[in-house]
Structure 1
């Protein structure tokens, strides 16, 4: 029986991929038994696929509010989408994000993608509401530098999400959206369609097992 693709986890983390993270701040409270990826790294690419029905989730479609923000933030697991990798060269990886007294950290792409979507969401509603977006890492910038950073960051996210969608290239066929009797079928909304998706619970479980560290909060 297909699941409905409205799954969330209960953490309230952040995803500051665009920011220059402070290695000293990030290492505070880090114990020597931090979870490190060894040979299990390859298992991240072997997450099982399960049938998932796409269906409307109003909380994610809602305008910014404490409730909807909490829902978006809950999509990111503890560790903020980063993992520690020991001997990264063994897996053909280049240098990661340095942190004191620990292996380098690496971002997992799906959480980078969610961060970008969350950042675009925050910027969109901020524009509608006539306020300055809250973007982690940019709080202390001058207005001019903030505007420049926002334009560059948004442009990066549009292009990054474009490539992520093309990479996944979901070829599922979608039928017409339901309409009242007598009305012409004229659009597709994607709801009620079964897709073959990575098992999100397995993804989150793997992330929590190998989670990195981050001092930021919030998805954007």
Structure 2
């Protein structure tokens, strides 16, 4: 019995054609894929389902890590407390104009930040003896924040013992958050229009 004869390798010219053909296909796929990539999705107003609040759809915003820490940068009171808290709002106070008629809306993130500031100012006014001017607004804000916390239902586990073993809710580690810097940038861009 003789050995079976193996087929000869394709000719050099066939291999070169195959190589350049594969390169052309890869090039076409890469070029075709990049043609559809846009730097940022144009914001649009979306109503997720009938009767629901509209959402300002910015597309995928990515995520960032935020360290959990007790900061001194946002004090309750003091000489720079008001300016520190108001600096958290972008130009225009967090109001965006969307749709064909450019109707104004406030993004929930900025409504929430404003409400935290209202509650802070109400606390300071209470300590100083004159809370009446902010009482109704503070009540609205407390209820609004309660609803937002319930609606978002953050499921992060937080230990009920601190690192020393004492009973206390102890948050540690990093949070993975929607990249709020992108939201601020898009709001600033919208305000400039």
TM-score, normalised by the number of residues in structure 1 = 0.57
- Paired residue for 1:115? 114
* Ranges of 4+ aligned residues in structure 1 off by more than 4 Å: none
2:72 equivalent among 52, 55, 58: 58
Aligned partners of 2:116, 2:76: CA distance in 1, in Å?
14
SS in structure 2 opposite 1:79? helix
Q: CA deviation at 1:85?
A: 1.3
Q: Which sections of structure 1, spanning at least 5 residues, go unmatched?
A: 1-37, 89-102, 133-146, 214-220
Which one has a bigger Cα radius of gyration? Answer: 2
- Larger relative contact order (C-alpha < 8 A, sep ≥ 6)? 1
Superposition pairs of residues 163-174 of structure 1, within 5 angstroms: 163-174=147-158
CA displacement, residues 137-176 of structure 1 (integer Å, 9 cap, x when unaligned): xxxxxxxxxx4x7333222111110111112211111233
Aligned partners of 1:109, 1:212: CA distance in 2, in Å?
20
Q: Which sections of structure 2, spanning at least 5 residues, go unmatched?
A: 1-40, 45-55
**Which one has a larger percent strand, Structure 1 or Structure 2?**
2
Is the alpha carbon distance of 1:154 and 1:167 closer, same or farther for their aligned partners in structure 2, counting shifts above 3 Å? same
Q: CA deviation at 1:120?
A: 0.7
Kindly tell me the number of residue pairs found equivalent between the two proteins.
Answer: 141
SS in structure 2 opposite 1:162? helix
TM-score, normalised by the number of residues in structure 2 = 0.64
Aligned partners of 1:203, 1:185: CA distance in 2, in Å?
38
| CA RMSD between the two structures | 2.5
